[in-house]
């Protein structure tokens, strides 16, 4: 969330991941006085209500909302899926985004440059074997994005989605290990499979996704809304 007017103040949200997350947030607070970092459990409605209210109070409103909190979920077939794990993924990836957005809309309407960016995935654009809760939530975000664009266009609020492919980092490594265990193949084979569907044979740099988000939030994208922008190395399907 960005402060109205100068866009310097920010609050980031995500599920608590123990001491490591708390230390990272403390580091952000200490290193940049214009950034306020705090933990919000987006699967808990009361936590979201307090977070949005505090963000708007501290920043003097909300200009830009980036819904980036999400979990990868389990790797299992629908037949073998734990219903509790299914519910947990939906609570964060889809319902959490809905609630954060719902509560932020009144402030975005007051902005002269209101923007919502939903972080979907290439996994929401295609069928995704053994990743049904993840694929379902990321597909749902595309429908939510298009609906919000229509509902908020009259107020000048733009709404777009970013659909990253496989992003370099610890998370994709966990996904690939789970995929290898599920299929009985090696981690190397799972990695090769993931890259085989891409024109560019490398995982996406997180910095490139951040740059795309900044573009969509800027005046340079003032005529873009209701769109899903892929950043996936030229992926043709999901595996």
**Beta bridge mates, 115:** 64, 158
Distance CA 206, CA 215 (A): 15
Q: Please enumerate in sequence order all residues whose Cβ is within 8 A of that of 23, keeping only pairs 6 or more positions apart, or say none.
A: none
For residue 35, what are the CA distances in angstroms to 38, 52, 188, 228? 10, 15, 39, 28
Burial class of 33 by CB neighbour count within 10 A (0 to 12, 13 to 18, 19+): exposed
Distance CA 59, CA 110 (A): 13
Helix (H) and strand (E) counts for the chain? 8, 4
Q: Which of 90, 134, 160, 194 is catalytic?
A: 134
128 is catalytic: no
DSSP 108-132: HHHSSS-EEEEE--GGGTS--TTBH
Positions annotated as catalytic residues are 134
């Amino acid at each position: 969330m960005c402060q109205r007017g100068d866009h310097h103040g920010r609050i980031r949200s995500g599920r608590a991941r123990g001491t490591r997350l708390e230390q990272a947030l403390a580091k952000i607070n200490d290193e940049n006085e214009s950034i306020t970092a705090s933990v919000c459990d987006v699967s808990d409605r009361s936590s979201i209500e307090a977070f949005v209210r505090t963000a708007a109070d501290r920043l003097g409103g909300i200009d830009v909302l980036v819904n980036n909190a999400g979990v990868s979920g389990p790797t299992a077939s629908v037949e073998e899926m734990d219903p509790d794990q299914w519910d947990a993924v939906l609570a964060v990836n889809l319902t959490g985004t809905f609630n954060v957005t719902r509560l932020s809309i009144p402030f975005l309407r007051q902005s002269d440059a209101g923007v919502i960016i939903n972080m979907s995935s290439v996994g929401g654009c295609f069928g995704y074997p053994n990743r049904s809760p993840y694929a379902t939530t990321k597909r749902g975000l595309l429908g939510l994005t298009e609906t919000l664009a229509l509902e908020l266009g009259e107020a000048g609020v733009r709404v777009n989605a970013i659909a990253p492919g496989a992003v370099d980092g610890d998370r994709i490594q966990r996904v690939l290990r789970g995929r290898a265990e599920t299929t009985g193949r090696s981690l190397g084979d799972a990695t090769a499979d993931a890259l085989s569907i891409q024109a560019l044979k490398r995982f996406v740099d997180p910095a490139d996704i951040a740059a795309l988000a900044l573009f969509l939030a800027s005046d340079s994208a003032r005529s873009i809304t209701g769109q899903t922008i892929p950043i996936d190395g030229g992926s043709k399907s999901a595996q």
